[in-house]
Amino acid sequence: MLPETTEVLIIGAGPTGMALSIALHQAGVDHVLIDRLTQGLQTSRAGVIHAQTLESLEPLGLTQRLSELSVNLDDFAIRDRSRVLLKLDFGKLPSKHPYLMMLPQNVTEQVFAERIAVLGGVIHREVEAVAVAQDSDGARVTVVEQGHEKLISARYVVGADGMQSLVRKSTGIEFDGEAYDGSFVLADVRLDWPVGPAEVSLFFAPAGLVVVAPLPDGSYRVVATMKDAPEKPGTADIQALLDSRGPTTTRARVLDLTWSSRFRVHHRLVRAYRKDRLFLMGDAAHVHSPAGGQGMNTGIIDAVVLGQLLGDVVNGIRSATELDLYEKLRRPAAQEVLDLAGKMTEMALAHDPAKRFVRNLSLSLVNLLPFVKRRIALKLSGLSRASNARLPAPAKAPGLIAASKPEAKSGLKLAA
C-alpha cells in the first residue's frame, strides 16, 4: 500500500530510479519508488556498462552479480567497412573493471530489482504521477492507482521519469537542444558475424552508421541510423543495414531476429538539475545519441551521487545547502557526454567524400598514438569523469545533528 508521506519520492523505476532506491535503502532513508508500468520493459535497449559505472555500483552490492551474467570485452574498434581506423584496448584501463561489460538492459534491471527486494524494498507499479507541486514545507505528488487519485507528501521528489518527465515540466526548467534528423534502429539478432564475438564494432559508411556488439547469450546488438525506419524493422532491414555498412571482405548474415525497435534521438540538456525540492536525473535531465553507449551509464551515476547526497542530508550528516553539489558535479559530466556522443555521431554521419577522407585519415593517425588512444578510452569508460562522481567531505556546518543510525555515518552503508 502506498504511504501518504515519505522522505523521498522517486518517480520512474528504470535503472536510474532503481539505483537511487538502492542507495537510499543502504543509507536507511525512507522513500517510495513508483512506476506507471505493470512491469519493467522486456526489451534490452542499453547494452553496455562502463568501468566507471561498475565502480560506482560496487557499494550498492550490484557489480558482482552483473559480472556473473555479462560478457566482458577488451576491444572497441571504429571501422570504415572492412578497414580498421581506430582500435581501443579497454583491458588496459586503470580500473578494477578494465573492460566493456555487455549486458542487455532488461537483465540489468532484473538485477537491480532483485537487490531492492533483498534490501526489503518494494517497487510500486501501475502507479502514475499526474501532478507535482512544492512549497517551503515540502512537495506533494498526485498519483493515480487503480483508477483512484492519492496524494503523497515528500520532503524531496526525484524525476527519473524519462525524456517527457512530468517532474521536469513541473519545475519549468528548460530542456535545451533538438532532435537528430532521421531515426535509429535497435535490434538483437543472431549473426554469422565475420568480426567475431570479442569486439564492439562501430562502422562508418556512406550510407550511415552501424554498431554491432556481442551479448552474453551469443546474439548481437545492432544499432544503426536509418532515414525512414519502419516501426519494427525486420530481418531484411537488418541484413540490408549490415550489407551497406558492415564488412565487405566477408559479409555478415542475419540468422534470426530476437526483437527490434525504431526510436528517434535527441541531444538535450536541462539548464538546472534541481528546483528547490525537485530533482532530475537520467533521461529527464540529459538525452543524446547512443554512440559510445553513454546514456544509461550517465543516469546511473547521477543516481548514485544523488543517493549519497540525499542520504547524508536526511541523516543529518550534511546541510541541505550541500544538495547544490549534485548539479555542480553531474551537469558538467552530462555536458561532456553530450559533446562526446555528438562528435562521434557527426563523424559517423559524414557523407561528403572530402570530409570522410579527412575523418578516416585523422582516426588512422590517432591509432598510431597510444597516449591519445588512452585518453579516448578513458572518456568512453567514464573514468575521465570520475571526479564528477565523487562527493567532497561534508562541510562542518554548525547546527547539524549526528545521524541517528550508526550505519548511516558514511551516507551509504557497505553492501550487505
Is 398 a residue whose pLDDT tops 60? Answer: no
What is the DSSP code (8-state) at residue 149?
E
Confidence of residue 403 (pLDDT cuts 50, 70, 90): very low
Whether residue 349 contacts residue 205, with contact meaning beta carbons closer than 8 Å, is answered with no
What is the DSSP code (8-state) at residue 408?
G
What's the pLDDT score for residue 84? 96
The average confidence (pLDDT) of the chain is 91
Place of cell 527486494: 117
Is 108 a residue whose pLDDT tops 70? Answer: yes
What's the pLDDT score for residue 266? 87
Helix extents (H) in 253-401 = 295-314, 324-348, 353-366, 370-381
pLDDT in tens, 210-234: 999 999 999 999 999 888 888 889 9
What's the pLDDT score for residue 397? 56
Confidence of residue 44 (pLDDT cuts 50, 70, 90): low
Residue with more model confidence, 347 or 107: 107
What's the pLDDT score for residue 43? 57
Report the run of H or E that residue 117 belongs to, with start and end: helix 105-118
Helix extents (H) in 138-194 = 166-171
What are the beta bridge partners of residue 11?
Answer: 34, 159
Quick one: average pLDDT of 386-414? Answer: 61
Q: Given its phi and psi angles, is residue 81 left (phi above 0), alpha (psi -120 to 50 degrees) or beta?
A: left
Quick one: average pLDDT of 87-96? Answer: 96
What's the pLDDT score for residue 182? 73
Is 402 a residue whose pLDDT tops 70? Answer: no
pLDDT in tens, 72-86: 999 999 999 889 999
Q: What is the pTM of this model?
A: 0.92
Quick one: average pLDDT of 392-404? Answer: 64
Whether residue 268 contacts residue 286, with contact meaning beta carbons closer than 8 Å, is answered with yes
Whether residue 394 contacts residue 106, with contact meaning beta carbons closer than 8 Å, is answered with no
Is 401 a residue whose pLDDT tops 70? Answer: no
Residue 322 corresponds to which cell in the numbers above?
550541500
Quick one: average pLDDT of 181-206? Answer: 92
What's the pLDDT score for residue 227? 81
Contacts of 234 (CB under 8 A, 6+ apart): 257, 260
Quick one: average pLDDT of 21-43? Answer: 90
Place of cell 562502422: 203
| Low-confidence winner among 141-150, 222-231, 247-256, 370-379 (lowest mean pLDDT) | 222-231
What is the DSSP annotation of 184-226?
Answer: EEEEEEEEE-TT-TTEEEEEE-TT--EEEEE-TTS-EEEEEEE
Separation CA 120–CA 237 (nearest Å): 45
Of 243, 170, 178, whose CA–CA distance to 212 is shortest?
Answer: 243
Is 58 a residue whose pLDDT tops 50? Answer: yes
What's the pLDDT score for residue 42? 57
Q: What percent of the chain has pLDDT over 70?
A: 94
Quick one: average pLDDT of 195-219? Answer: 93
Q: Report CA Rg, the chain.
A: 22
- Say which CATH architecture domain 183-263 belongs to: 2-Layer Sandwich (3.30)
Q: Given its phi and psi angles, is residue 45 left (phi above 0), alpha (psi -120 to 50 degrees) or beta?
A: left
Q: Where do the domains of the chain lie?
A: 5-73+99-179+266-408, 183-263
Report the run of H or E that residue 14 belongs to, with start and end: none
- 183-263 shares the fold of 5-73+99-179+266-408: no
Please tell us whether the domain made up of 5-73+99-179+266-408 is placed in CATH 3.50.50.60.
yes
In a 10 Å sphere around its CB, with 0-12 CB exposed, 13-18 middle and 19+ buried, how is residue 87 labelled?
middle
Is 1 a residue whose pLDDT tops 90? Answer: no
* 3-state secondary structure (DSSP) of residue 415: coil
Q: Which amino acid is at 310?
A: L
Residue 331 corresponds to which cell in the numbers above?
551537469
